[in-house]
Amino acid sequence: MRINGPLLSFAFRLPPSDPWPPRRIVRSSWLAVSFLLMIGALPAFRAEIVDRVAAVVNDRVITLSDVEWSFIYSQTALPDDAAKRKKATDDRLNQMIEQELAAQEVEKEPSFVLREEEVAAELKKLELRHGGREKLESEAGQMGLSQDQLRLTIRRQLSVLKFIDLRIRPFVIVLPDEIATYYRETLVPELKDKGISTPPPQDEVREQIEKLLIEQKVDQELDQWLSNARKRAKIFILLYREESPNMPPEKWTKSKQ
């Protein structure tokens, strides 16, 4: 799991107990659409599968609509080619599986359950940034989020970030040699490629390089942690699978009706 991309889309993915996707977005975005949908977009009078279980992560469901919404929120254009589109969907589903796994793993750690005060403090900061509580409530309501749902979303995601900050980040160390190697083998050549013949001295950029390397290592540790979690987890993927993992495989099975 890389922190930039998937965690961003993780932010879009509300936990199962939250209403998702927020209603108002759907209404505001698609109200005008629906009329057009009625007219021509849909094959009339034919039943269509519109939603289903796409994957299960330790008894928590990721639905087809979750995957669809994640593409919408991330503004990702899918390839035209059907096979590539399928791969992109599979990849996105796998990312969402990892995000769900991360949230579940953190929930198991009692020391990372946030106190009400911490959630309240963050909510307070949010209220200040949005010009007050009423304004924040109004904006959240437009998205179909109640205060309780917003609070729960914040709590879940803050827990993951807190976990990263307390359990992973403090144990990541960058050695001076590594900074020097990065400067010498990566930064300087990159700058030269961009036409900067006189790169800044290493001491000037040491701090930035250190931060960058720390984040890279945090990424790697997160990946390892998730990989271990995945081995322990019960994950079923149903989307695009010819045979469900919960059904007896045809090659060994005789049916008795």
Residue 179 in tokens: 């900074």
Judged by CB under 8 A, the number of residues near another protein is: 110
- In the complex with another protein, the residue whose CB is nearer, 171 or 240, is 240
Residue 15 in tokens: 């936990």
Q: How far is the CB of 121 from another protein (least distance, A)?
A: 10
b/e map 20-48, b = 16+ CB within 10 Å = bbbeebbeeeeeeeeeeeeeeeeeeeeee
- In the complex with another protein, the residue whose CB is nearer, 41 or 203, is 41
Stretch that binds another protein, among 54-62, 100-108, 173-181, 195-203 (CB under 8 A): 54-62
Q: Tell which residue, 207, 184, 13, has the closest CA to residue 102.
A: 13
Q: How far is the CB of 166 from another protein (least distance, A)?
A: 12
Residue 83 in tokens: 């096979």
- Position among 116, 177, 193, 204 found at the interface with another protein (CB under 8 A): 116
Q: Which residues from 8-47 bind another protein, rule CB under 8 A?
A: 8, 11-12, 16-23, 25-34, 36-47
Q: How far is the CB of 110 from another protein (least distance, A)?
A: 10
- 242 touching another protein, by CB under 8 A: no
- In the complex with another protein, the residue whose CB is nearer, 25 or 174, is 25
Q: Which residue has 């793993």 as its token pair? A: 105
- In the complex with another protein, the residue whose CB is nearer, 52 or 192, is 52
- Position among 212, 221, 230, 233 found at the interface with another protein (CB under 8 A): 212
- Position among 108, 115, 194, 231 found at the interface with another protein (CB under 8 A): 115
- Position among 1, 145, 179, 222 found at the interface with another protein (CB under 8 A): 145
54 and 237 Cβ atoms separated by less than 8 Å: yes
Q: E strands along 103-248, which residues?
A: 235-237
Long-range contacts: 179-186, Cβ < 8 Å, 24+?
179/206, 179/209, 179/210, 179/213, 182/209, 182/212, 182/213, 183/209
- 123 touching another protein, by CB under 8 A: yes
SS3 62: strand
Q: Which residues from 72-91 bind another protein, rule CB under 8 A?
A: 72-73, 75-78, 80, 82-83, 85-86, 89
- 193 touching another protein, by CB under 8 A: no
CA distances to 26, 29, 35, 36, 47 from 39, rounded to whole Å, are 19, 18, 7, 5, 16
Identity of the residue numbered 48: E
Q: How far is the CB of 46 from another protein (least distance, A)?
A: 7
